[in-house]
Amino acid sequence: MGSTQTVNVGVGALRPDDVVTVARHGARVDLLRESITAMEASRRVIEDLVNDPMPHYGVSTGFGALATTHIPVAQRTQLQRSLIRSHAASSGAEVDREVVRGLMLGRLSTMATGRTGVRPLVAQTYAALLNAGITPVIGEYGSLGCSGDLAPLSHIALALMGEGDVRDGDGVLRPAGEALDAAGITPVELREKEGLALINGTDGMLGMLILASADLHRLLKTADLAAAMSVEGLLGTDGVFAADLHALRPHPGQISSAANIRQLLDGSPLIQEHSASELSAHRSTRVQDAYSLRCAPQVHGAARSTLAHVESVAAIELGSAIDNPVVTVDGRVESNGNFHGAPVGYALDFLAIAVADVASMSERRTDRFLDKARSHGLNPFLAHDPGVDSGHMIAQYTQAGIVSELKRLANPASVDSIPSSAMQEDHVSMGWAAGLKLRRALDGLTRVLAIEILTAARALDMRDGGLATSRSAVAIHAARAVVRNVVDGPDTDRYLAPEIEAVRVLVDNGSLVTAVQDALGGPLA
């Protein structure tokens, strides 16, 4: 928390960067006047229906399977309160703060379109909660991703009412009423339609998709760096990354990845010396490098193409007004099925597949360093004294265990519909579950890449004696220097877990990518 930035929320779409800035970095939000005007207009439509004898879903009826039950005017405030209390039924581990803030911002943005029929007061109070850093406590289980992320969104609405538990701006767990009072925020008593409008949306799964996409941009650049370090450390060839070869199969992501690896390996003395040595001896120990080296741009590129598709889905969703019923531009109140999370759920699952495959290839490159028969002259397991020392043997086990889990996490959640609400909601998206497993998958990929980079740096030190006598390409030398700032070079065995964690932090915070971009004098693709 503590960002000085402000994100304007109006009737139009938020940008993905807006979501990341508010959710992850604590930026403030400002509700624009155009949205206040739009909400006032749609609220008048709802209030005109309050005394209408005809039933209107969510205004004068119950919900879900109880949609045919007429609710007297005198009981409608209780109806909204009961809806939120009963639906705030999550369970399990507490969801990360950035996910909850993304969820809140998404619902605020939908309210700001003026298509939900809520009073401006409701949206203004949501904005006040975000700006105060008040984050409702939500358990990981409870959303089926259809009729919206019902349980998670209900916990937000419950806090709006001054009920339930929250974490304040300092992260302290407090009763919602107490936290609101301390922040000078008055709890809201919900009126007709408002409870329903607060919980019918794909905001949670969408927020997770946008945050994951931001992370994956960094991780795919890191994967290219890891691959380049492994190609150099295993004395591979850089010829397969030539631009004209990739132009023969011009997938944009593949071309970008190949260009990155080409830049990273540019001028590598290790590769040049090895190639010259083989030429002078009129021999070649390898006709072709293994797939995990040679085909890195094809796999990393396919992941980039997946990411591009996913971001197109997110862009549409960010510009959507998802509620049921909605107040149309011409003043009709219409039921619909736009709350179904299938588009977002599929996208989340698609990314999990790409993440698992990138990690799987990384683990295979790491394994080559540790096998004396395939490492081209390195000690078995990169051990300082093989037999006495085990080197990075078990680091690869850790990678293998993570990759195995990533393959399980790549199993799509979105095919596992389960019926609910007395068969009224008989097909659901499971998009929320897809989002949570993707977040775990990204954490796994971060750790797998960290182990490859840690291993490649050790191998390169064993090749050339360390940074002082480095024969790496300029960019790879820069990456090795960042690693050596937090992890010592090769020696006898030592406690390895802290070293893996130290490099994981470098991958997670982008330090490695920043270092190589600085060395190259420009950004990686």
Q: Which residues are catalytic, by number? A: 57
CA torsion sign for 364, 367, 368, 369 is: positive
Separation of alpha carbons 144 and 147, rounded Å: 8
DSSP string, 196-227: HHTT-S-HHHHHHHHHHHHHHHHHHHHHHHHH
| Three-state secondary-structure class, residue 93 | strand
Nearest one of 136, 133, 132, 130 to 161, comparing CA atoms: 136
Helix axis angle, 269-280 to 431-464, nearest 10°: 60
Separation of alpha carbons 22 and 33, rounded Å: 20
Q: Is residue 11 within 8 Å of residue 112, measured between CB atoms?
A: yes
CA torsion sign for 298, 302, 303, 308 is: positive
CA torsion sign for 316, 321, 323, 328 is: negative
Greatest Cα pair distance in the chain: 94
CA torsion sign for 318, 319, 320, 326 is: positive
Q: Is residue 181 within 8 Å of residue 408, measured between CB atoms?
A: no
